Structure 1
Amino acid sequence: MDDFTAEMFASGRNFDSPESSSQRPNNDHNDDNDNQPEPKAESSSQKTGLRGGFAAIRQKASLQDRLVEKLLQQVIPTDSDDQTEVHFAGDEQSATHTERPNFNITTMSYNFRRFNARIGVVFKFQARVERILSWKRASHTLSLLAVYSFVCLDPYLLFVLPVAILLFGVFIPAFLARHPAPPKGTLSSEQNVGYSPQGPPLAPAATVKPVKELSKDFFRNMRDLQNCMDDFSRGHDQVVALLVPVTNFSDEALSSALFLFLTAGGIFMTIAAQILPWRFIFLLGGWVIVGMGHPHVARLIAAAHRDRLQPQEAKARSWLDNWISSDVILDSSPETREVEIFELQRKTSGGGEWEPWLFSPSPYDPLSQPRIAGERPRGTRFFEDVMPPEAWEWSEKKWALDLWSREWVEERIITGVEVETEGERWVYDIWDERDERTGVVDVPINDKGKQKATPKPSWEENEDGSGRRGDWRRRRWVRLVKRKAAPVQPS
């Protein structure tokens, strides 16, 4: 298909829509002119030579980006598809965060070019810090240690440090850039006139500008960014390999021993933190850390570690493993719990026989919430359908009848029931004559013309002595479960 058909397929808009041309961002302009309006497109007759070839290649790349962008929009889910956002009162200011654009190849390429053109200042700062810490110039490193020493001895100077950095690192160099000294080789320098900041500015103000694309600085930033990503990946892998195995309890004995040491250290620091001379500790620690970066000191430390410490590492590790295996005792058996189920039976309306109803997790006593609300009990009709809780499995093969029926009744403070302490250990509902009433019932009246109070069900066992019971009875079955081991997830 031609370029016009491919562009229409990629954009998904009508070719005569004015919005398709006005809303399309120009991501290919120079980074130095981010706020300038988009220049008008040149005609094909003006695009000649090398510039015309670059423009044609860029136009084809933009068309391919739009095609791939439309395909990725169908594949990559948005944030709203896999998570539900919860809005709270007063979150109106954070509405801009939810309106951030989704992944887009054109936007990604444009933002990367802008980022790479501006990240050079970070790499320059990183290079200067590395030069100071590696003792490239001993005077600079000693100056840093002197400032660090003053801050350690008098921590209140820490609040003066940002002001000093702004004055000596920003304002004074900017002023000297506007009022430079006479260059060498001129008459003023040969006559030793000296530097004088008086008079009008002699040079333009120094500004920070992004580097131009396809320049040496642009590719230098790409090189530094590539190396920085590699350093971060290597450091991340080393930290994960060093810390994760001893903290994720993959080796429970080792992680438990480390947890014990950290707990003891935390208790000790809670007591002794106010006694330790923190100023001298930080002062000495800073000098030691910076001093270890000196090339001569680094060679001495490497030789001492190779000759003296490395042979003792195996002995120390062996002693630690022996101490862990002998003193750290772990539970070998899985955790076990007792689960319960209540067998409910209901009295038939005709002959008064008990009919098996279902197995329920609640006793469905007369004062339970489902009973008062008139709801039916919930459960399963067969014993075999009772399943263990999630992440647990049966530890015993069969259910056991709870012979101490009075205990679980008293623990739940259940009233209005009759407890059977022998036999099958049923717990019956006490019969209430109000349940038998239907239609119009004559209410007994005493001598004073008031209604007699109807006796309510009592806590005692069959207090009325009539032998009549309610419509429901239940008994408790118990069974042990053990925690199921989680399957090992493949890495």
Structure 2
Amino acid sequence: MDEFTVDAFVNRDDPIPVISFDPQNDLSDEANDSASDSERRRDRLKKHGKNLKENIRNVTGKGSSMQDRILEKLLQQVIPVEDLSASRADAPPSLDYITRPSFSLPTMSANFRRFNARIGVVFVFQAKVIRLLSWHTPTHTLSFLAVYTFICLDPYLLTVLPLAILLLALLIPSFIARHPPPTANTSNSATYGYTGPPLAPPRTVKPVKELSKDFFRNMRDLQNSMEDFSRVHDKILSIITPATNFSNEPLSSTLFLFGFLAIIVMLTASHLLPWRLIFLSIGWTVTGISHPAIQKQMHTVHKQHIVPREQQAKTLLDTWIAQDIILDSAPETREVEIFELQKLSPAGEWESWLFTSSPYDPLSESRIRHERPKGTRFFEDVQPPSGWEWSEKKWALDLWSREWVEERIITGVEVETEGERWVYDIRYTSDFDDGENALAYGMDGERDSQVTPKKGKRKVLPTWEEGSDAESEGRGRRGEWRRRRWVRMVKRKWQPRRSVSEGSR
């Protein structure tokens, strides 16, 4: 195999070689020819089969080693492979072109070899750009600056630039390759012209050969490019991420403030800026500071003047941020409530029943459906809502029992405005013959007009009554339940987020 590949270049549209083999034609030819040529054709057939096997190995990767096959089977057990047959059956015909093969070591190896054989043009372009900006040939750099100046002063020349590149970089070199100039020892060099038939074959675009020096040079450049990308990526993230992810909230708030002000200024004054001169000065500045002499001078200035004052400038910025950027970092707070529910025992004593989120009033939905209240037995078992945490150490008794009763439009209860602020059920039995509460009240506190007592006059009762522990009147008609409201403050809890990884879907 050659050390170098002549006229090697990149062709991304280079098709995959298609190998066809029809043994019937060879057998038919073998039957028609003489016996003296049969042995020679048998050798040619064996050679053809051997070349076919090698080509299949190089193109499809089917001839991979046993280690590659074992590793591929192991990765297939770890990495979930999509069921392509099912997806193709369910997908419409127009989406067949988007199906992609699953992960495979032979496929990856074959694709890497094809990619590395064709990536040389990128590295050639990268090297030329570096040579151009580093003033390796000053005339080339000045020519570039002249073209850049014309484009900045007249941006419509950008439409001419692709056509000029087509002529100067593709067509003219290809014509010169087919019509090469005469050499120095040619006798008729004086009468030579670019007319007449071509003297050389056209320049073709083809990848480099595997295991050649050009192939390994591409691998070296690809390796170094990956390292350069990783370093630039990590450096950019180390600069941008701490300042923008609000880990340092004053600094991120300062950037947000200046960014917002910059947006307002650009929305109102961007059409007034001389953009042509701005881009012209940027291009000349970037190209000028890339000169080796200026680079050396800038390194000296940075080392002597900027590095000693870097910490001082950072201190001044931190001081300004601490004084002028005021953050309202107090967490969001809410008030939560719980109702302490007690039940009257047959012995006439009030027993602690449970703590519930509902007051369990006489006209609540659970009381109407004869359901037992739900909750917890002890204060310690009451948990804050999801995503919140307690901001106070203890529960506080709500001393304004009348307010929460009126807010919920609770009827048929007695409210204590002093003492322990219990709210009792009221049992009305004195005016009816069956000993049951025959008065029904709606949510607006009005009495049901369809209920008529058999004896005596109807007694108009309020939606709720007011009482206290000092009063003994009315205790005999209190119901079997009483409740009071406790409140406590909660604050939103900080929840760590999962790290964001690039490429996650």
TM range (shorter): 0.5 to 0.7
Deviation at 1:349, TM superposition (A): 13
Q: Which amino acid aligns with 2:392?
A: E
Is the contact made by 1:365 and 1:414 (CA closer than 8 Å) also made in structure 2?
Answer: no
The alignment yields a C-alpha RMSD, in angstroms, of: 4.9
Deviation at 1:399, TM superposition (A): 1.5
1:69 corresponds, among 69, 72, 80, to 72
- Give matches, 1:456-471, under 5 Å: 456-459=442-445, 463=462
Aligned match of 1:121: 121
- Give matches, 1:51-200, under 5 Å: 62-78=65-81, 97=98, 99-177=99-177, 179-185=178-184, 187=186, 190-196=189-195, 199=196
Is 1:35 aligned to residue 31 of structure 2? no
Q: Which amino acid aligns with 1:340?
A: V
Deviation at 1:215, TM superposition (A): 1.0
Instruction: Give me the whole-angstrom Cα distance separating, in 1, the residues matched to 2:65 and 2:210.
Output: 17
Deviation at 1:36, TM superposition (A): 1.8
Unaligned runs of 5+ residues in structure 2 are 1-12, 24-43, 84-89, 430-439, 448-460, 466-473, 500-505
Q: Which amino acid aligns with 1:284?
A: S
Q: Which amino acid aligns with 1:309?
A: I
> CA, structure 1 residues 369+138, in 2 after alignment: closer, same or farther (shift >3 Å)?
farther
Aligned match of 1:403: 399
Secondary structure of 1:479's counterpart equals strand
Percent pairwise identity: 54
Instruction: Give me the whole-angstrom Cα distance separating, in 2, the residues matched to 1:119 and 1:371.
Output: 78
Instruction: Give me the whole-angstrom Cα distance separating, in 2, the residues matched to 1:455 and 1:392.
Output: 38
Instruction: Give me the whole-angstrom Cα distance separating, in 1, the residues matched to 2:380 and 2:70.
Output: 58
Aligned match of 2:36: none
Q: What CA deviation, in whole Å up to 9, does each residue of 1:459-483 have, x standing for no partner?
A: 4795378999999876543212344
Q: Which amino acid aligns with 2:182?
A: P
Q: What CA deviation, in whole Å up to 9, does each residue of 1:377-403 have, x standing for no partner?
A: 765454322212344432322212233
Aligned match of 1:282: 279
Instruction: Give me the whole-angstrom Cα distance separating, in 2, the residues matched to 1:111 and 1:318.
Output: 52
Instruction: Give me the whole-angstrom Cα distance separating, in 2, the residues matched to 1:322 and 1:281.
Output: 33
Is 1:341 aligned to residue 321 of structure 2? no
Give the TM-score taking structure 1 as reference length: 0.68
> CA, structure 1 residues 202+349, in 2 after alignment: closer, same or farther (shift >3 Å)?
farther
Aligned match of 2:320: 323
Instruction: Give me the whole-angstrom Cα distance separating, in 2, the residues matched to 1:432 and 1:200.
Output: 121
Q: Which amino acid aligns with 1:394?
A: W
Instruction: Give me the whole-angstrom Cα distance separating, in 1, the residues matched to 2:289 and 2:364.
Output: 73
- Give matches, 1:400-439, under 5 Å: 400-405=396-401, 407=403, 420=415, 422-423=417-418, 425=421
Aligned match of 2:258: 261
Secondary structure of 2:285's counterpart equals helix
Secondary structure of 1:343's counterpart equals strand
Aligned residues: 422
Instruction: Give me the whole-angstrom Cα distance separating, in 2, the residues matched to 1:487 and 1:457.
Output: 45
- Give matches, 1:289-300, under 5 Å: 289-300=286-297
Is the contact made by 2:341 and 2:484 (CA closer than 8 Å) also made in structure 1?
Answer: no
Deviation at 1:319, TM superposition (A): 1.9
Instruction: Give me the whole-angstrom Cα distance separating, in 2, the residues matched to 1:373 and 1:148.
Output: 84
1:393 corresponds, among 383, 389, 399, to 389
Deviation at 1:223, TM superposition (A): 0.5
Is 1:480 aligned to residue 489 of structure 2? yes
Instruction: Give me the whole-angstrom Cα distance separating, in 2, the residues matched to 1:136 and 1:187.
Output: 34
Instruction: Give me the whole-angstrom Cα distance separating, in 2, the residues matched to 1:365 and 1:180.
Output: 103
Deviates more, 1:130-139 or 1:167-176: 167-176
Is the contact made by 1:336 and 1:480 (CA closer than 8 Å) also made in structure 2?
Answer: no
Aligned match of 2:470: none
Aligned match of 2:230: 233
Deviation at 1:330, TM superposition (A): 5.1
Instruction: Give me the whole-angstrom Cα distance separating, in 2, the residues matched to 1:188 and 1:470.
Output: 129
Is the contact made by 1:341 and 1:362 (CA closer than 8 Å) also made in structure 2?
Answer: no
Unaligned runs of 5+ residues in structure 1 are 1-30, 81-88, 434-453
> CA, structure 1 residues 190+111, in 2 after alignment: closer, same or farther (shift >3 Å)?
same
Q: What CA deviation, in whole Å up to 9, does each residue of 1:171-224 have, x standing for no partner?
A: 4444444x424332365862143334xx55554443321211111111110010
Is the contact made by 1:392 and 1:483 (CA closer than 8 Å) also made in structure 2?
Answer: yes
> CA, structure 1 residues 484+191, in 2 after alignment: closer, same or farther (shift >3 Å)?
same
Deviation at 1:226, TM superposition (A): 0.7
Q: Who wins on radius of gyration, i.e. which is larger?
A: 2
Secondary structure of 1:234's counterpart equals helix
Q: Which amino acid aligns with 2:18?
A: Q
Deviation at 1:61, TM superposition (A): 5.1
Q: Which amino acid aligns with 1:402?
A: D
Instruction: Give me the whole-angstrom Cα distance separating, in 1, the residues matched to 2:371 and 2:275.
Output: 68
> CA, structure 1 residues 456+272, in 2 after alignment: closer, same or farther (shift >3 Å)?
same
Instruction: Give me the whole-angstrom Cα distance separating, in 1, the residues matched to 2:92 and 2:358.
Output: 43
